[in-house]
Structure 1
């Protein structure tokens, strides 16, 4: 096979690489994967042995599918939260299924109508909260698998589904809490200490530039983005295992944001200092500031790394104001001052964590009680989430159609078509196609492994121990593939489920060799039905959705340019915007990865559009970081905006407005509302630079302070350059007339 760019063996399905390169990357060994694979292997083997000894083989296969579908890298808090929540959804599903069968079990058309509505709402809810589609999947097993026998369906809902849930979710949760469980609070503290260590290494590099003994430059430049999202998720997981942390959630969030902001600021400095800047001498006063900053970072890092309680010891941080006063100049904002104030804020927040604050959640709870009317009772809620509603309707309709086809053919062994429609429910056409290919590939490989087991290994063993030895390699293979990235994990799940469905179909030796064939036929039926529906009914093109997410991210970034009155507004204003922008950009990246599988993906306009959107997303991520750095510099550097001359204030506000306008124009170009750019940010930045130079008399300042201002101007220049690049990319994303 030769791809469009001329490389033999390259495929759109293998993410632009050849099959060998794809497998080499996705099957790579690393310590974390070994732990994850060991967990999944233990879960699969335990369920397989339990299903054989307790005589519930068919339920064991479904339990294995449930376990292989969940995150094998989950820490202890995440595992407990996920297991409890899924068990809750399981019992809710049982209740809904039983009520539906009791009320409409003897009326097929009423049963179909209710099932369609229930599964559509379940899929809508799952899409809304970004949660696995467990309710719809579990509901379909007792209700749609055997609709002509309501009594048997009620028995299945009351007994089989709880057994699947308890056997699957219970085993998954216990294994995750037993095999190398990780305390999320310890991971959170270690992550914060790692962030501070990276900042200390950057300061050490600057001291090494100045020739200070005992200092060394970092081997690799650190990434500017930090790991805020990961640490924020760990905070949520830690609150489940350590309930006392919930009372201090706001303080923890502020600490995460401050440390991440310090890391962003230091990383930007490290990347922006060119070789000629590094070669310039540093005054003794500035060296003293750098040494104090480095010592503060090291002290905080060590106290965080050694902390086993709720917080570090803020006494480990000693920042003598006299050291900063010896370097700073009256009225001159400074990057060193921004570093200094950031570390002071971090130390103060760490000190607050040692206190036992009053119940700060009462006010929020009172406000929540005041809003007694749920949002979903109003039309705006449904109008805003119409795509999720269409998603639920479309895939629920597919499951109903497959059930009718299975009943019409009187072929119950192809009922795998029904869950296929629900499992294949993805956000776009490209994602549906990719998951469908992984599903059919995994089912085929699992079927071949099952045939190999029956024809070669089954006759050699006649005990449960022999069964375990014979099936161990297949469980290990499925676990290892499932522990990979999202690009290949689903193949491993289907491999394990297909093999389990075959070998656990009944107690004792396997004789029904038609099962793998019928399972693959059922999957193909489900994929065909959903492929037709997904393409004909509200098709969701990956590139179109990616463009919409890019537009939303750009308009969110435009709000970053608002000048805040004080640092206390950083969390309340900046944090929601940052999370929204990061969420939209991450969704757009995932969608573009799937866009190459859609029918018109190789058209020149589509290729150019994807390249332009990738460039916009790359620049938008960098711009988000720079805008946050700029906001933090303004608030912490000692900049006295209210004392600036009126003309300088107008130039600064004009530059802010130009940045917001440029981002809005880029969004309008992507929407197709305009085909030209009128970026005035560069002109406004030049005016602001001249105004700063005149007011602060930069030409007469010492060399260290000239460098400070050059870095400040470079930050604005980097922002304007990114805006120009993004507008050019947006114009390239437009189709040719």
Structure 2
């Protein structure tokens, strides 16, 4: 037996989660190298010129270094604006209220509430996050000195330390190892086309071993292309001018990639030459992506026989042909970009945002009261934690709290080891860099992961830097490590209790609404009543939103819920979301089979619409139960598919050719698979209370 078999189930799940989160992904090493290079320069400059706040400079490097140049520059500009506003606000508060402590606290609290409110409603909420952070952070400096000039100098040095680090980071990301979104998009498309070609090659040779593409991979691939296209449009004027064309190209690749998940196991029923033709067309599309030429297929696809072709191959042919027609169309004028809102639509009508700001202020003031009452200067992070872990929902707040504690604990352990065994043996900048850069690289690697773990990497680096790099010489003081950890634990505990007890923002109800929208979107697509919100890309995006929300709901505090109800709710939600991904794939292949039916098979199409209507009605009823009766959701009623199939065969008895009969039988198989997938959606009954909400 393996060693992991002796571990408890929870530890095995944690190990699997960590292994999945820290594995190498495309572009992750690039982000880490850019982060380490910028950090090395910042450390050398700060130590040489004795620029204070090195830990904050490194924090700016981590936040500004993003997956591509567009995001790096955008975040960098927002941070420069935010730091300037923050330092200006802090100096203004000191100038007006330095001799009046009560007035200083009240004005700082007002600015803090305003900043927390703008974090939720403004497009550049990160800038106001910095304002609130600096304003509350400066209260600890005021209590350390009675010299106003020293406080102003601290504020100005803070502005220098962060902004020069941002400038170095922007320079590094622009000149060294730049990750251009256009190149990332093209690489992602070529990678998906290569996977399609490999699967078609396996099918053509009749070999087995090419595993079926999982629904989650289809979802991830589709959303990755859409996200990179958005960044490429922001970066490249050509992409903005030809945005419709590039969207059509990305959509074509996504359709081919999704179709690959539904390819048959055998090519026995595929007409001769079809697979070779499709492979040639996909290869030509890859060449066009690399060279930016016009995509033409000539008579290549026109000569592919329609009769007897499986629906999924017909869908691939249709996607390639549609893009060839689009490529031949004249170029459209530059797309007019809509003026984006600076505020969210309900910024001034939804009381949730001001409640969030007041909760965050209460947590900060409780921490400040503890800080003042104990006179414990080292735990000033208790106030910072109140804003750092404050997130729009209970689950997100809990996750940020866990990552902050975990990252700080790991960083503290590493710093402790370095203080005891490494610091006494170094005496120069080279030794300092050799000690620091491996830890920074580890933090950057974790930070470049998904949002489920990325903040832990930033916190690891920041804790380590505060302990060892905040002075211009070797340090052997271990109390800083202890005090910071105590401050983080107390601040996180206060924030979680306040956010869970006062106007809690649980997402259980929002999750039900999100899943119901997804169900109704799939039903509308089946019943031919869809719009832009029911395209495959939109439905995959909705599914990803539901999964992200479910992950946050799983971390919401459960002490006010019935025993075991949260676990039951999560079990059924995860089962349902996994099943919905499979249904989305089944809908894709069913739609492809309908389109592949010969022109004369009108009755087969009519029967297909009956099957689609049946599945759509079941999904609509399930969605209604999810909203109206969440404590007792019924499973979709079983469908007498054999009776439907019999009626179809009677109605369509005029099918005259073997190819038409084969196509009809393939449609029956796909319809059966779709209805079976719908029928296996779970039912549950978990008591009288609504799960996922705190009343």
TM-score (norm 2): 0.83
Match for residue 715 of structure 1?
670
- The aligned counterpart of 1:347 is 324
Question: Relative to 1, partners in 2 of residues 1:321 and 1:455: Cα closer, same or farther, differing over 3 Å?
Answer: closer
Residue 111, structure 1, aligned to residue 68, structure 2: no
Matched with 2:535 is: 574
Pair 378,41 (structure 1): closer, same or farther in 2 beyond 3 Å: closer
Deviates more, 1:343-352 or 1:570-579: 570-579
Is the Cα contact below 8 Å between 1:47 and 1:64 reproduced in 2? Answer: yes
Kept in 2, the 8 Å contact 1:142–1:156? The answer is no
User: Given the superposition, is the C-alpha separation of residues 736 and 475 from structure 1 closer, same or farther in structure 2, using an over 3 Å criterion?
Assistant: closer
Deviations 1:125-175 (CA, angstroms, capped at 9, x unpaired) = 37x889798435544455544466795698369624432432343333333
- Aligned partner of 1:725 in structure 2 is 680
Contact persistence 1:195–1:263 (CA under 8 A): yes
Bigger drift between 152-161 and 41-50 goes to 152-161
What SS does the aligned partner of 1:594 have?
Answer: coil
C-alpha deviations, 1:382-426, integer Å up to 9, x for none?
A: 27xx4x654444334322332333234343332111221222224
Change (3 A) 1:321 1:346: closer
More moved, 658-667 vs 428-437: 428-437
Aligned residues of 1:666 and 1:730 also touching (Cα < 8 A)? no
C-alpha separation in 2, matches of 1:706 and 1:396: 70
Deviation of 1:533 (Å): 0.6
User: Of 106, 113, 121, which residue of structure 2 is paired with 1:125?
Assistant: 121
| Structure 2 partner of 1:228 | 222
The answer to whether the aligner puts 1:319 opposite 2:299 as a matched pair is yes
1:412 aligns with 2:377: yes
Query: Residue 173 of structure 2: which of 172, 176, 197 is its match?
Result: 176
1:212 maps to which residue? none
Gaps of 5+ in 2: 691-695
RMSD: 4.2
Please list the CA deviations of residues 54-90 of structure 1 after superposition, one character each: whole Å capped at 9, or x if unmatched. 2223x21112233334666x13333333333433444
**Number of paired residues?**
678
Q: In 2, Cα distance between the equivalents of 1:247 and 1:525?
A: 52
> Which residue does the alignment assign to 1:664?
620
For structure 1, list consecutive stretches of 5 or more residues without a partner in the other structure. 1-5, 210-215
- Change in 2 beyond 3 A, CA 1:639/1:95: farther
- Mapped pair 1:402 → 2:367: yes
Per-residue deviation at 1:229?
0.8
Within 5 Å, give how 1:520-539 maps onto structure 2: 520-539=485-504
Residue 262 of structure 2: SS of its match in structure 1?
A: helix
1:535 and 1:236, CA in 2 relative to 1: closer, same or farther beyond 3 A? same
Residue 468 of structure 1 and its aligned partner are, at CA, apart by: 2.7
Give the one of 330, 335, 345 matched to 1:375: 345
How far apart, in 2, do the equivalents of 1:584 and 1:460 lie?
Answer: 50
Moved more, 688-697 or 178-187: 688-697
Cα distance between partner residues in 2 of 1:527 and 1:506? 27
Contact persistence 1:557–1:577 (CA under 8 A)? no
User: How far, CA to CA, are the matches of 1:175 and 1:294 in structure 2?
Assistant: 41
2:205 aligned residue: 208
Could you say what secondary structure the match of 2:567 adopts?
helix
Equivalent residue, structure 2, for 1:268: 262
Q: SS of the counterpart of 1:682?
A: coil
Q: Does 1:551 align with 2:503?
A: no
Q: Deviations over 1:238-283 (max 9, x none)?
A: 223312211222222222223212332342133xx5xxxx37455x
Match of 1:693 in 2: 649
Q: Name the residue aligned to 2:80.
A: 87
Look up the match of 2:191: 194
- Tell me the equivalent position of 1:65: 59
Deviations 1:294-335 (A, max 9, x none): 32122222332x32xxx33313x23356624x5449xx9965
When residues 256 and 30 of structure 1 are mapped into structure 2, their CA distance, relative to the original with a 3 A threshold, is closer
Stretch moving more, 501-510 or 415-424: 501-510
TM superposition shift of 1:526: 0.4
Counterpart check, 1:706 vs 2:661: yes
Tell which deviates more after alignment, 84-93 or 515-524.
84-93
Counterpart in the other structure of 2:152: 155
**How far did residue 574 of structure 1 move?**
1.9
Q: Is the 8 A contact 1:402 1:529 kept in 2?
A: yes
Give the TM-score, by structure 1 length: 0.79
Mapped contact 2:108–2:136 kept (Cα < 8 A): no
* 1:48 to 2:43 alignment: yes
In the TM superposition, what is the alpha-carbon distance from 1:344 to its structure 2 partner? 0.8
Work out whether 1:359 is the aligned partner of 2:328.
no
- Residues 1:291 and 2:276 aligned together: yes
Distance in 1, Cα, partners of 2:468 & 2:310: 71
| The 10-residue stretch of structure 1 (431-440 or 514-523) with the greater mean CA deviation from structure 2 | 431-440
Q: Structure 2 vs 1, CA of residues 188 and 33 (structure 1 numbering), >3 Å: closer, same or farther?
A: closer
Task: Please tell me whether residue 10 in structure 1 is matched to residue 8 in structure 2.
Answer: yes
Structure 2 partner of 1:625: 585
Distance 1:289 1:578, change over 3 A: same
- TM superposition shift of 1:100: 5.6
Contact 2:34/2:173 (CA < 8 Å) preserved in 1?
yes
Partner of 2:234: 240
Distance 1:503 1:289 in 2: 65
Q: Tell me, what secondary structure is at the counterpart of 1:323?
A: coil
Q: Deviations over 1:26-47 (max 9, x none)?
A: 5556785544433333333322
- Residues 141, 151 of structure 2: 8 Å contact kept: no
Q: Is the 8 A contact 2:411 2:459 kept in 1?
A: yes
Q: 1:54 to 1:697 in 2, by over 3 A?
A: farther
Deviation at 1:721? 1.9
- Looking at structure 2, the residues matched to 472 and 523 of structure 1 have their Cα atoms a distance apart, in angstroms, of 24
Shift of 1:580: 5.0
Distance change (3 Å), C-alpha of 1:495 and 1:193: closer
Where do 1:607-626 residues align within 5 Å? Answer: 607-626=567-586
Shift of 1:94: 4.4
Tell whether the 8 Å contact from 2:625 to 2:633 is kept in structure 1 after alignment.
Answer: yes
Q: CA deviation at 1:615?
A: 0.6
Larger deviation: 91-100 or 229-238?
Answer: 91-100
Distance 1:67 1:280 in 2: 57
Match of 2:693 in 1: none
CA distance in 2, matches of 1:509, 1:547: 55
Q: 1:342 to 1:449 in 2, by over 3 A?
A: closer
User: Are the aligned partners of 1:47 and 1:168 in contact in 2 as well (CA < 8 Å)?
Assistant: yes
Residue in structure 1 matching 2:566, options 588, 602, 606: 606
Distance 1:65 1:396 in 2: 24
